[in-house]
């Protein structure tokens, strides 16, 4: 932990050690959840001596768009935020996989829900390995908590307060012995995992819920859809999914920045397909692994090299 506190972070418009990046206990965002965050992966590839950030500018574009929902406007462009992040990587001399957490938040230390237009933002990068070991497949379960409705608290925005929904779902799933939760929306359709999108394979098609079913519009989700179409020549369909389809489909998997591509072999105790990692899931997981580590030229546009430019595909 002492080494972690020496990590350099971006806070109050400057780069400082993490131990100096402190906020007041009355900070508005701490009490009312009025913040927006992102999660960005970086992969260290030893044989290339490079650390690749995955879709960094796209994450920051989403970050800025989502911040608008709370009338927060980080005064940097996506390109500038990416450059700050690359500088943090270099200043910390990371030679390991990392996770980057930008956070924009209402910063006034006071009581009262009404915002006052004052905000700040920070960027933290930390060493980060496997989020959840899915090498043998995950056991997922549908929980009683429902996914947030857009007209109550927009699920498409990574709003801090909204993630209490994910915490409640995760706690329930773990109490029941599952690795990860699956949430339904108020219409009873499958929405997503607690912190990840969901896909199923049925009748040779790759199917995932649409944004209108209250999902986060995930960037890993978008990557997987592109890989499925271009590399595996699959038909990708965005449509509502019934809970019972998870019991009768051929394959199911999660996607997310932290989760990556994570196979699901059981849902609510029911074996998915043959109860093993599916053929399509395995291929997509491997393709995503290779693409995000700079080994497939066609997807170099997804990457920013921290130590040297990435050649275009």
Q: What's the rounded Cα separation, in Å, for the pair 239 and 211?
A: 9
> Would you tell me how many other CB atoms lie within 10 Å of the CB of residue 11?
20
Catalytic-role residue among 46, 158, 205, 266 = 158
205 is catalytic: no
Which of 204, 160, 215 lies closest to 30, judged by CA?
160
Mention every residue, 6+ apart, whose C-beta is less than 8 A from residue 127. 94, 96, 97, 98
Query: Which of the residues are catalytic?
Result: 158
């Amino acid at each position: 932990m002492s080494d972690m506190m020496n990590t350099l972070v971006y806070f109050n418009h400057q780069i400082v050690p993490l131990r100096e990046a402190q906020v007041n206990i009355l900070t508005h965002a701490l009490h009312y959840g009025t913040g927006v965050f992102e999660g960005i992966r970086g992969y260290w590839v030893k044989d290339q001596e490079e650390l690749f950030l995955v879709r960094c500018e796209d994450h920051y574009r989403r970050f800025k768009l989502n911040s608008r929902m709370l009338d927060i406007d980080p005064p940097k462009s996506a390109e500038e935020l990416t450059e700050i992040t690359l500088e943090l990587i270099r200043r910390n001399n990371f030679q390991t996989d990392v996770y980057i957490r930008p956070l924009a938040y209402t910063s006034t230390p006071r009581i009262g829900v009404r915002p006052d237009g004052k905000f700040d933002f920070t960027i933290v990068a930390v060493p980060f390995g496997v989020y959840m070991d899915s090498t043998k497949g995950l056991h997922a379960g549908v929980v009683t908590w429902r996914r947030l409705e857009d007209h109550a608290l927009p699920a498409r925005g990574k709003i801090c307060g909204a993630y209490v929904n994910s915490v409640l779902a995760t706690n329930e799933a773990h109490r029941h012995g599952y690795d990860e939760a699956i949430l339904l929306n108020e219409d009873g359709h499958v929405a997503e995992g607690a912190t990840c999108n969901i896909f199923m394979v049925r009748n040779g098609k790759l199917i995932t819920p649409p944004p209108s079913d209250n999902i986060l519009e995930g960037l890993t989700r978008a990557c997987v859809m592109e890989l499925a179409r271009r590399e595996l020549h699959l038909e990708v369909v965005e449509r509502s999914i019934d809970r019972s389809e998870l019991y009768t489909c051929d394959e199911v998997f999660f996607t997310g920045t932290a989760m990556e591509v994570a196979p699901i072999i059981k849902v609510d105790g029911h074996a998915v397909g043959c109860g093993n990692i599916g053929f399509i899931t395995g291929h997509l997981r491997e393709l995503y692994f290779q693409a995000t580590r700079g080994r497939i030229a066609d997807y170099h546009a997804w990457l920013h090299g921290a130590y040297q430019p990435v050649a275009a595909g």
